[in-house]
Amino acid sequence: MRTTAGSPPFVPAPAAGPGLRRVLVLKNLPNELRRLGAWVAAVSRENCLSLETAFRVDICLAEAVANVIEHGFPEGGAHEIRVTVDPRGKEAVLTVDDGGQAFDPLRSTPRAAETLDEVGIGGYGLRILRHFADSCRYDRREGRNILTMSVRAAAF
Amino acid sequence: MTIDSEKLAEGVTRICLRGRMDISGAEEIDVRFAGLVSAATSVIVDLSSVTFLASIGIRTLVANAKALRLRGGSMALFGPGPLVADVLRAAGIAEIIPVLESQGAAIEAVKTAGIVRA
């Protein structure tokens, strides 16, 4: 099914067919989450992902990218966050790659609040991400954080 | 997103949310949501037409539930679809804000919240 062999790494979106690995480069700005959401919806439609699979791809990427935008660059400045979706039939492989400060979202374990009085208003994203991804791997390579997630294709 | 509200019997306010509760959606409803909550004590939130819920949307729900509780009020959520319900469970929200299947159960939860923690 995959036809990426021999393709240049940045195929313009309109020319690419279903099953191709897609790349999106975002800036470290909160507004970019809108662009991410629209892009994920388009990629899911192109690849005929089921409602559940599309939802899980959407939420894993939204939470991972939101976390990088919010915490990755405390010194500010303009930076790029690179997102890929690679639909492989039985699963979609997702990556989020950023040059922000080293952060392993799989090692951070936000404590679950037990009552409304003690709960903070944030800190949910990483728990959601780890719940909805079927597998997660974190690598730090050449000064970049690389988060790789997979989402199994669901039937509906 | 869209938000509308209705005053039900017995002092309960129902807030109905519709659409994608992501960064755009949360921004669209945040001010109105806070305004409606500030004028109410018992609030039930209909999530049956929410198609997507990210952590930013959860912050909106939690911030308003906390604001209500500080004033002695209470909030319950009801009717989420299976994926939105899964997000609420994954985030640990179901333990701190009651999440019910039906409107009737949500009304019961906010009415008894002052007596028994739901």
Q: Which of B87, B96, B97 sits opposite A59 (nearest CB)?
A: B87
Å between A143 CA and nearest CA of chain B = 27
Å between B84 CA and nearest CA of chain A = 9
Answer whether A66 sits within 8 Å of B56, measured CB to CB: yes
- Write the pLDDT tens digit of every residue in B55-110: 999 999 999 999 999 999 999 999 999 999 999 999 999 888 999 999 999 999 99
- % of chain A beyond a pLDDT of 90: 64
pLDDT of A109 reads 64
Answer whether B24 sits within 8 Å of A128, measured CB to CB: no
Would the pLDDT of A129 be above 60?
yes
pLDDT of B58 reads 94
DSSP string, chain B: -EEEEEE-GGGEEEEEEEEEESHHHHHHHHHHHHHHHHT-SEEEEEEEEEEEE-HHHHHHHHHHHHHHHHTT-EEEEE---HHHHHHHHHHTGGGTS-EESSHHHHHHHHHHTTTS--
Å between A125 CA and nearest CA of chain B = 5
Mean of the per-residue pLDDT values for chain A? 86
pLDDT of B99 reads 97
| Residue whose pair of structure tokens reads 């730090």 in the numeric block | A140
Answer whether B58 sits within 8 Å of A34, measured CB to CB: no
- Write the pLDDT tens digit of every residue in A21-56: 899 999 999 999 999 999 999 999 999 999 999 999
Tokens of residue A137, six digits: 């791997």
Pick from A10-24, A78-92, B30-44: least confident: A10-24
pLDDT of B77 reads 98
- B66 contacts on A by Cβ (under 8 Å): 116-117, 119, 121
Which among A65, A119, A131 is the top mutation candidate for probing chain B, defined by the most B β-carbons within 10 Å of its own β-carbon? A119
Q: A110 falls in which pLDDT band (50, 70, 90)?
A: low
The CA distance from B101 to A54, in Å, is: 24
**Helix or strand (DSSP H, E) at A36:** helix A32-46
Q: Does A32 touch chain B (CB under 8 A)?
A: no
- % of chain B beyond a pLDDT of 90: 88
Q: What predicted TM-score, i.e. pTM, was given to this entire model?
A: 0.86
pLDDT of A62 reads 96
Report which of A1, A156, A20, A7 is spatially closest to residue A84, judged by C-alpha positions. A20
DSSP label at A153?
A: P
Kindly identify which residue of chain B lies nearest to residue A62, measuring between CA atoms: B54
Cβ count near A29 (within 10 Å):
12
State CA A90 to chain mean position distance.
18
Report which of A79, A85, A82 is spatially closest to residue A65, judged by C-alpha positions. A82
- A33 contacts on B by Cβ (under 8 Å): 22-24
ipTM of the complex model: 0.89
Q: Which residue has the higher pLDDT, B2 or A5?
A: B2
- Considering A11-20, A97-106, A118-127, the range whose residues carry the highest mean pLDDT is A97-106
